[in-house]
Amino acid sequence: MTNESQIMLIKELLEEKYDQYNRKRFIETDPIAIPHLYSRKEDIEIAGFFSATIAWGQRSMILKKGYELMDLMDQQPYDFVRNYGKNDLERFQKFVYRTFNSQDLIYFMKMLNFLLKKYTTLGSLFETLSKGTNGSYELLSKFHQLCFQNENPGRTRKHLANPAKGSSAKRLNMYLRWLVRKDNRGVDFGLWDFIKPADLYLPLDVHTGRVGRKLGLLERKSNDWKAVEEITAKLKTFDAADPVKYDFAIFGLGVFEKF
């Protein structure tokens, strides 16, 4: 079998699994279920940000804590973050998910409140940052810098990835996938047209990294930003316009099929 033949077989497998997993039923067990509670763009952006922020560990627990967080925001995430009153943050004092605790959450609330007063929506913020920015590496690095421009608890910085520090930024790349991709399948939202799907990067974690290496799509051993660039470049040879659609395939193979 030639190398070209192997590549074609890998592409056929990924296309098959993309078609299998990029379906509405995928939503039920995925953190994207949290922003799917809402129809208003502003709510989807805020709910998606918090859901992506806590998206590590057991998926059932991510969803449980995500639903809890939306309840604490009175099921109006944008309006709550934009307009909360002096004593409204007290309700979050007992919130904790793994190493993400109330101190982190309350800082994120205050940080988003500050940013929304300037940019109105998260979409407007990212659109502003994207101008004159060369790709997701610079965009996410600028976003991290902006989020921690004010006094902050040092422990909280680890909960928002920074590619400039070498992080794969899995959760933020996933968040961008949710908001940018348009696939008419009813999974990703496709609300942000100022970023092209072609410019997205694969949300790389232990599962997608393992499957990527088994398929020969990734040689780098560390799941860092260089690995993100490497595997995304390979996926662009299969679909240059929408390389991260294969996130569904690679993640599905790793998590659901234990490939």
> Which domain, by its residues, includes 51?
3-255
Residues in CB range of 72: below 8 A, 6 or more apart: 91, 92, 95
> Whole-model pTM above 0.75?
yes
Cα atoms in the Cβ-side hemisphere of radius 13 Å centred on 72: 22
Please give the chain's pLDDT, 259 residues, in tens.
448 888 999 999 999 999 999 999 999 999 999 999 999 999 999 999 999 999 999 999 999 999 999 999 999 999 999 999 989 999 999 999 999 999 999 999 999 999 999 999 999 999 999 998 889 999 999 999 999 998 888 899 999 999 999 999 999 999 999 999 998 899 999 999 999 999 999 999 999 999 999 999 999 999 999 999 999 999 999 999 999 999 999 999 999 988 8
**In the numeric block, which tokens belong to residue 145?**
């810098």
Q: How far apart are CA 256 and CA 80, in angstroms?
A: 36
Number of domains in the chain: 1
